[in-house]
Each structure stands twice: as C-alpha cells, then as structure tokens.
Amino acid sequence: MKQATHNPRLFFLDWLRILAFGLLVPYHVGMYYVTWGWHVKSPAASSTLEPLMLLSAPWRLGLLFFIGGAALAQAWVRAQAQGHTPARLLRRRSARLLLPLVFGMLVIVPPQSYFEVVQKLAYSGSYFEFMQQYLQGYEGFCRIEEGSRQCLSLPTWNHLWFLPYLWVYGLIGWLLLHQAPAVLAQCGRRLAALGPWGLLLGLAVPLILARQLALAFPSTHNLKWDWYNHAQYLSLFLLGMLASHAGSAFWARLSAVRWPALVGALAAWALLLVYFDAYDGATPPETLRVLMRGVWGLMQWWSTAAACGFAYLHLNADSAWRRRLGAAVFCVYILHQTVIVLLTQLLAPLQLTPLLEGLMLVLMTWMLCALVYGLARRVLPAPLALLLGVDGAKTPDPQAGRAAATIAALATVDAKSPQ
C-alpha cells in the first residue's frame, strides 16, 4: 500500500466504509434467521444469533452516516479546488442518490414485498398481478401484529430508505457548507481541541438523548415521521462533517482513545445483553429503561470512535483494492437484499441445515452481486449503469473516480433491532 502522507483524502474512512459493507450481506442473511421482524423468515428462526447481531446493530448504520458527513465535506473542498460550483456538486449528488432510488423502488425492491405477502399473508396471485397492485399503491396487505393492524405501504423503498435520508441530510449539510462555512470551521476547531472525556462522553450525548425517543417514535423509515432515526443519524452526519473540518488533530486524538472506546463498547454490549434477557417479554422499570437507552447511545458512539481510531492508525493508506471495492459497494448495497430474499425462496425446498444454508446465502449473494456489478460496469451504457449505482467509467481513475467513490460511501442497508 502506498501511504497517504500528503494526500488530504481520508483513506481510512474509505476502508471503514468497505468493511462496514462487508457486514452488509451476512447481517441481512442473519435477519432471515432471528426472531426480529424482517420481510421473510426461516422456519428455523430463533434467538440464537441475536447476541451476535446486537454487537453491530447499534452502530453500523450510524458509522456510515458519520462517514457520509465527512465524505460530503471532503467532496465540497475538492469541488472548490477544481473550480466546480456548489450547484454542480448538488446536481451530481442528487442524480447518484435519487435515480437509483426510483429505479430500485420500481424494479429491485418489489420482489421483496411480493415474497413477504406470499409468506406472511398467503397471497396467491402472480408476480404480475402483485405488481399491478404495487404500482397502484394498494393498501390491503394487512395483518394483526403485536395487537395492532399492520399494513404494507406500497410502493416502498425497503432497504433503500437510506438513500432519501442521506439525500435530505446531505442537502442540510450542503446548505451549511454554502451559507455558514465560518461557523463550521469554528466548530471544527473546537472539536479538534477536545480532551479524552469530551471525546468519549461529550460526543456521545446527542446519541444518548436520541435513544430516549425510541419508544415514542419507533423506527419506521417513513421520512416524514421518523424522529428517533433523524435524531441519531442526522447528528452523526453533521458530526462527520465537523470532524472533516477538524482535520488530522481530531483523528489523532480519537485514535489515542481507541482502546478505552473499544472496551467501553464491549462492556455496553454485555450490559445490553443482560438487560434484554432479563426483561424479555416484561416491562422494565422506567428509570432502568432510560439508563439502558443511555448505554445504547454510549455503545453507538464508542463503537464508532473505536472503529475510526483503529482505522486511522492502521488503514490510512491507498491501494488499487480500495478503489475497486469502493466503486462496487453502492451496487452491492442496491442489489443485496433482493438477492438474499430470492435465494431464500430458491433454497427453502432443499431443507438445508441453517448453518449450511446461511453460508450458501452469504457466498451466493456476494457472487451474484459481484457478477451484476461486473456486467453493469462493462456492458451497460453509462446512464443505465448509473441506475445500479455503477459509475459509467470503464476504469477507475484516482482523480475522476473520487466523486463517485464519495457518493458510494453514502449508501447502506436497513438494519432492524430491538427497541
């Protein structure tokens, strides 16, 4: 690897994004086997994997929003250096996020909803008949769940919910970069001057407070009414922007507290496991509930801080693999969940053991997504490849590919966890 000594690009954040996307496929395969709600469920679903799933559920998406904020700030600086207007950056960003969203809702996502109503509601119509109802916004796919009537909203964005959220947060960030650069620079300087306690506890406060909203505003991925998710993810996105303004001093300080952050995150995870096990099916005392929501928020930030601290120390370097994988992750994100759902239905009649079936789902999903990405990159015209999140250029270029990699950094997956 070539060391990034003189390059302002934060290569370690690119690697973190790639590693976070490395968890994407196994995590959503895991969702097929746990008792938490998901689109389709294995007959062998149980709580066995849930402790392991809980190890990443609180922080994985937040990390990607944090990286997204830093990536936007970096893209702004590069656009200015290249003489590009802010409007051009916004147009490119909008195209890269919203066009795949629309295409995904019309083409990629519907099979997930189809097999969901087949499995959960015993729907007997064909896929063609379902698509007619899907496009008409049919509201009749309902069932009683946890004592209330739950209806499937159509059309839906399912795992692509991250794209509209990211676009809205990016628009807020774009306005701040355009209208209040001095304020952001000042906040960045203050961030860079924080000591260990400020880094470990002070920066966790927004997430501790956000978690208190979880019961009143449970995660819905309804952009207009999802205040708990907005509170946690927007705060992390903006913190990522400020971290980019703070520069290397902030990352170095964060790296210095990486071990306390890691130990704290693991201790918080252990406390959450005990808490959820002790009150499985029971209502905890309100004071304890508030405290444990605080522990959840601490785990979110400490895990993010530890990941960034270790990555800054060990992964702040460039390589051809970074460029290749960074260019592919957006396409994998768009495709992966539908591929998983389709493969579960394909493998179900074989009645394989959960371990063998799960390993096959992970490997086959990666292979199929890689195949589609390769074909899209080499065969499709640039406008069509863009719909799958693939840059039209035939060969990754370190200069021209940066904007595409920046947008690719801002995509991820739906992760559902216990409230």
Domain assignment present for residue 336? The answer is yes
Residue 7 has pLDDT above 90, yes or no: no
Domain assignment present for residue 150? The answer is no
**For residues 207-216, average pLDDT:** 96
Q: How confident is the model at residue 13 (pLDDT cuts 50, 70, 90)?
A: very high
In angstroms, the CA 33 to CA 26 distance is 11
Residue 4 has pLDDT above 50, yes or no: no
Percentage of residues of the chain with pLDDT beyond 70: 91
Q: What average pLDDT does the chain have?
A: 91
Residues 326-378 have pLDDT tens digits of: 999 999 999 999 999 999 999 999 999 999 999 999 999 999 999 999 999 99
Partners of 225 in the beta sheet? none
Residues 119-178 have pLDDT tens digits of: 999 999 999 999 999 999 999 999 887 677 889 999 999 999 999 999 999 999 999 999
**For residues 74-93, average pLDDT:** 94
Domain assignment present for residue 1? The answer is no
CB 372 within 8 A of CB 388: yes
In angstroms, the CA 368 to CA 146 distance is 36
CB 406 within 8 A of CB 329: no
Domain assignment present for residue 186? The answer is yes
CB 250 within 8 A of CB 243: yes
Tell me which DSSP letter residue 414 carries: -
pLDDT at 396: 43
Residue 398 has pLDDT above 70, yes or no: no
State how far Cα 29 lies from the chain centre.
15
**Residue scoring higher pLDDT (198 or 407):** 198
Count of residues in the chain: 419
Domain assignment present for residue 7? The answer is no
Percentage of residues of the chain with pLDDT beyond 90: 88
Residues 141-158 have pLDDT tens digits of: 998 876 778 899 999 999
Q: How confident is the model at residue 6 (pLDDT cuts 50, 70, 90)?
A: very low
**For residues 209-218, average pLDDT:** 95
Residue 90 has pLDDT above 90, yes or no: yes
pLDDT at 152: 92
**How many domains in the chain?**
1
CB 267 within 8 A of CB 55: no
Domain assignment present for residue 382? The answer is yes
Q: How confident is the model at residue 317 (pLDDT cuts 50, 70, 90)?
A: very high
Q: Which residues contact 383 (CB under 8 A, 6 or more apart)?
A: 392
Structure tokens that stand for 202 in this block: 């002070």
Q: Which phi and psi (to 5°) does residue 273 adopt?
A: -60, -45
In angstroms, the CA 348 to CA 339 distance is 14
**Residue scoring higher pLDDT (310 or 24):** 310
pLDDT at 149: 84
Q: Which of 407, 405, 408 is nearest to 396 (CA)?
A: 405
CB 205 within 8 A of CB 36: no
pLDDT at 166: 97
**For residues 300-306, average pLDDT:** 98
pLDDT at 9: 80
CB 418 within 8 A of CB 47: no
Q: Interhelix angle for 24-33 vs 320-347, to 10°?
A: 20
Rounded to whole angstroms, what are the CA distances from 413 to 68, 132, 162, 286, 329? 14, 26, 7, 31, 11
**Residue scoring higher pLDDT (2 or 118):** 118
In angstroms, the CA 69 to CA 62 distance is 11
**Residue scoring higher pLDDT (9 or 108):** 108
pLDDT at 412: 34
**For residues 40-68, average pLDDT:** 96
Q: Which residues contact 236 (CB under 8 A, 6 or more apart)?
A: 62, 63, 65, 66, 69, 207, 304
Domain assignment present for residue 91? The answer is yes
In angstroms, the CA 92 to CA 121 distance is 41
Supply the range of the domain harboring residue 347. 13-109+157-408
Q: Which residues contact 41 (CB under 8 A, 6 or more apart)?
A: 32, 119
**For residues 391-414, average pLDDT:** 42
Residue 407 has pLDDT above 50, yes or no: no
| Percent helix, percent strand, percent coil in the chain, to nearest 5 | 70, 5, 25
Domain assignment present for residue 124? The answer is no
In angstroms, the CA 347 to CA 342 distance is 9
pLDDT at 392: 61
Residue 1 has pLDDT above 70, yes or no: no
